[in-house]
Structure 1
Amino acid sequence: MGGSGSGRGYQGGKATTYDMRKLDVRRLQRDGLLQPGLAFGWQWTCNGEELASIQIRTEVDRVMLSYRSRNNGGEWQPMEYPVTLEWTPCHLGGRRAWFHCPARGCGQRVAILYGGTIFACRHCHKLSYPCQRETADDRAARRADTIRRRLSWEPGILNGEGGKPKGMHWRTFERLTAEHDAFVRVSLAGMAARLGLIERRLDGVGDALHPKS
């Protein structure tokens, strides 16, 4: 399977969850693929082209993963091992499935396993989330866009502002627009600093990113 993500940053130890191919037990459960006795293939694609695939066989309270893997262009090695499933009750009825990370010494209960030489949890692969690598101005732009979605404005801080959504209180609208404008100022200042247009100043960034209620 080309290592199922093993070549995209895993060896450097500083990859993010975005860099790795993931196997989500919630998706398997939603698609009805955790019933014992099933055998099927799982693929990762990009623009319709298959990038990697594995074979999955379901048993009682576990799945068997089967694929080929190689490290740093070495010989292909067959991989086959079980991943234990755990089921927990949901508040509104039914059950939710979890993986137990199969990495040696782990066993942590998780929803997602990330592909490398083996499929393992985020902590075993030493993965960070993409947002953990954001600069202050990147984070500000993302938070401004979150507010824009709530206000039903067009995404993108360089786009114009819209009006007050129907049914929203004016006080709420004014608070959100003030927070939005503060995030935009931080983001634009950071972009200008990266382009060398202004000297970077971080004064007030913390207040903008964490506005007082």
Structure 2
Amino acid sequence: MGGAGSGRGFQGGRATTSEMLALDVRRVQRDGLLLPGRASTWKWARNGEKVASIQMRAEAGRVILDYSSRSNGGEWQAIEYPVSLEWTGCTLGGRRAWFLCPGKGCGRRVAILFGGSIFACRHCHKLVYACQREDANYRALRRSDRIRDRLGWPAGIANPDGGKPKGMHWRTFERLTAEHDAFVQVSLAATVKRFALRI
């Protein structure tokens, strides 16, 4: 099995956000876990199996994170610290919660904290989004597949194109197929260039 950095489109460099445990304040708020006095356990699973969990205790203006962590297979250490919250008003009423990153000297207002020895923002962990590590070929393939999905066509540029979906305006269909064809051309050009360099 490949580790971090294996797989298609890898360009080397920093770890991605998708490789880390993510604690999303929007989901925590939606589940009512930010009410002062609430204590809860947040769990992460892969393929239906629990891989990690964290205890959260909500207080006025902050949550207390409580979990165990270890570095490089060392001893487990109990970690507990507060993460401050900030609230902003929503356009149609209500309030939205944000984490204030507890990373040393950071304090950024963020929706997601990523796990490590400390839960912090992606900047503190020096993370990039997975799409930032894609080369031109795979980025074009991903974008063409997104359009194919919207058009109801099978994924993959080697598969035949389908027709216009029922109810879609012709102008929209023509715009999407033109974008799709442009992404296919970019992908094919990148593939030809890659194989030309290897010959």
Q: Given the two structures, how large is their TM-score scaled by the length of structure 2?
A: 0.86
Write the mapping of 1:106-125 to structure 2, written as runs, cut at 5 A. 106-125=106-125
In structure 1, the gaps of 5 or more residues are: 1-7, 201-213
Which residue number in structure 2 is paired with residue 15 of structure 1? 15
Per the alignment, do residues 56 and 13 of structure 1 end up closer, same or farther by CA in structure 2, a change over 3 Å counting?
A: farther
For residues 23 and 172 of structure 1, the distance between their equivalents in structure 2, rounded to whole angstroms, comes to 37
Report the AA paired with residue 76 of structure 1.
Answer: W
Which residue number in structure 1 is paired with residue 156 of structure 2? 156
Per the alignment, do residues 43 and 13 of structure 1 end up closer, same or farther by CA in structure 2, a change over 3 Å counting?
A: farther
For residues 93 and 119 of structure 1, the distance between their equivalents in structure 2, rounded to whole angstroms, comes to 30
Which residue number in structure 2 is paired with residue 64 of structure 1? 64
Check whether the contact 1:53–1:67 (CA below 8 A) recurs between aligned residues: yes
Which residue number in structure 2 is paired with residue 210 of structure 1? none
Deviation of the 1:193 alpha carbon: 5.0
In structure 2, the gaps of 5 or more residues are: 6-11
**RMSD across aligned C-alpha pairs, in angstroms?**
2.0
Check whether the contact 1:63–1:84 (CA below 8 A) recurs between aligned residues: yes
Q: Deviations over 1:67-90 (max 9, x none)?
A: 111111222211000001111110
Deviation of the 1:192 alpha carbon: 5.2
Write the mapping of 1:1-213 to structure 2, written as runs, cut at 5 A. 14-191=14-191, 193-194=193-194, 196=195, 199=196
Q: Given the two structures, how large is their TM-score scaled by the length of structure 1?
A: 0.81
Report the AA paired with residue 150 of structure 1.
Answer: R
Classify the secondary structure of the residue corresponding to 2:142: helix
Aligned residue-pair number: 188
